Amino acid sequence: MSEPALSAVKAALKSQRIETPSWAYGNSGTRFKVFAQPGVPRTPEEKLDDAARVQEHTGVAPVVALHIPWDKVDDYAALAAHAKERGLTLGAVNANVFQDDDYKLGSVAHPDAAVRRKALGHLLECVDIMDATGSRDLKLWFADGTNYPGQDDIRSRQDRLAEALGAVYERLGEGQRMLLEYKLFEPSFYSTDVPDWGTAYAHCLKLGEKAQVVVDTGHHAPGTNIEFIVATLLREGKLGGFDFNSRFYADDDLMAGAADPFQLFRIMYEVVRGGGHGPGSDIAFMLDQCHNIEPKIPAIIRSVMNVQEATAKALLVDGEALAAAQHSGDVLAANGALMDAFHTDVRPLLAVVREEMGLDPDPMGAYARSGWARKITEERKGGRQAGWGA
Ligand code: PSV
Ligand code: MN
Ligand code: MN
């Protein structure tokens, strides 16, 4: 690779921004058991303190997503100031219209107008919070749906959903967006109101430019070609962001790139190919994970590194060789061009990038040596559970 091309790859890697989720720092896990860990944050402020360690060691994770009410505080501007003092900004505000008893039959698509009003009120309150925190994105994931055929009218539920989304859209301020997340199933098992990218896209298209689709990598059926979805949404100008995590069976929420680094590479290749990476891109690269059996902060550092490695490999694809092979119909050469990049060991390159950024080349080792884990274990007692399903 030529020197200017390598410099461009390095610059792209240095400018990458990965958003970490506040709920990944707290105790969270599966619905079967949450294995509490010592030293986890007791407050939203302490979650930010931990996120600052991830940023200190990686240099590419300066944004933290909030989850309301898990991160409820009296003064959100003060929370944003706390973040700023630690070199962070507050990212997507994740709404929560799934954990109250009222939401047994849904939230914004509930058959009862009173429940719909309550859910909408929460979504609008989340936009108020965005005003205070300076967050750009409202992230919407709905557990809404049905468990049994005939339980509710599928079409009416779409109408109710559209009405609520429209009201939220109207409330968005200058520079704010709403990101609509889809999920194949769970907790609704027969029908889910936003089950796939097509449904999310259809709603976002009607709403307008400020409504964009979020791709959570854990929310698809096995075998789904996620990179095709990414390419299509990017092409349509409707890809708002990612919730990266790793899945094997369902919505496992494990470390991004853990089970299938090749899939993450293929996704990042389509992002790069579609112009979704680097300056000028509005795509939010978020993690949506929880760490039940592994220590949380290093797991988040590892996840950030996995996304970086996939990105580096995607940036190394020899676009000219690939295009030439594709145009000449040379199937094996085209596939080979992609695989050459995937098989490149980019860890030495990322170590150099970190050194040039003034960081330790080994983020995992640097965190282990920092003494932070011991400090929080001694100082913090009674860390909170983040909530279910994160
Ligand atoms: C539930 O599936 C979920 O994991 C969604 O992916 C949301 O993004 C997340 O919870 C936080 O609400
Ligand atoms: Mn998600
Ligand atoms: Mn999920």
| Ligand that comes closest to the CA of residue 187 | 1
Question: Mean pLDDT lowest for which of 216-220, 272-276, 305-309, 378-382?
Answer: 378-382
Strand ranges inside the chain, DSSP E: 18-21, 63-67, 89-94, 137-140, 145-146, 177-181, 191-192, 211-216, 239-244, 284-287
List the domains of the chain with CATH numbers: 3-379 (3.20.20.150)
Ligand 1 pocket check for 56: Cβ under 6 Å: no
Torsion angles phi and psi, residue 178, rounded to 5: -115, 130
Taking CA atoms, 287 is separated from 74, 134, 389, in Å, by 26, 20, 14
State the average pLDDT over residues 61-72: 98
Q: Which pLDDT value is given to residue 388? A: 55
- The interface predicted TM-score of the complex, written ipTM, equals 0.97
Ligand 1 pocket check for 182: Cβ under 6 Å: no
188 alpha carbon to ligand 2 midpoint, in Å? 15
What are the tens digits of pLDDT across the range 80-99?
A: 999 999 999 999 999 999 99
Q: Inform me whether the pLDDT recorded for 390 exceeds 50.
A: no
Confidence of residue 381 (pLDDT cuts 50, 70, 90): confident
Shortest-distance Cα residue to atom 1 of ligand 1: 389
What are the tens digits of pLDDT across the range 223-236?
A: 999 999 999 999 99
Question: Is residue 291 helix, strand or coil?
Answer: coil
Ligand 1 atom closest to residue 96's alpha carbon, by position in its atom list = 12
| Ligand that comes closest to the CA of residue 194 | 1
Q: How far is it, in rounded angstroms, from Cα 219 to Cα 200? A: 13
Confidence of residue 137 (pLDDT cuts 50, 70, 90): very high
**Ligand 1, pocket-test mutation among 243, 254, 287, most atoms within 8 A of CB:** 243
What are the tens digits of pLDDT across the range 316-352?
A: 999 999 999 999 999 999 999 999 999 999 999 999 9
Q: Which pLDDT value is given to residue 389? A: 43
Q: Which residues surround ligand 2, an ion (CB under 5 A)?
A: 216, 243, 288
Ligand 1 pocket check for 288: Cβ under 6 Å: yes
Tell me the average pLDDT of the chain: 96
State the average pLDDT over residues 154-172: 99
Instruction: For strands 191-192 and 145-146, give the pairing.
Output: antiparallel
Confidence of residue 382 (pLDDT cuts 50, 70, 90): confident
8 alpha carbon to ligand 3 midpoint, in Å? 34
Q: Which residues surround ligand 3, an ion (CB under 5 A)?
A: 251
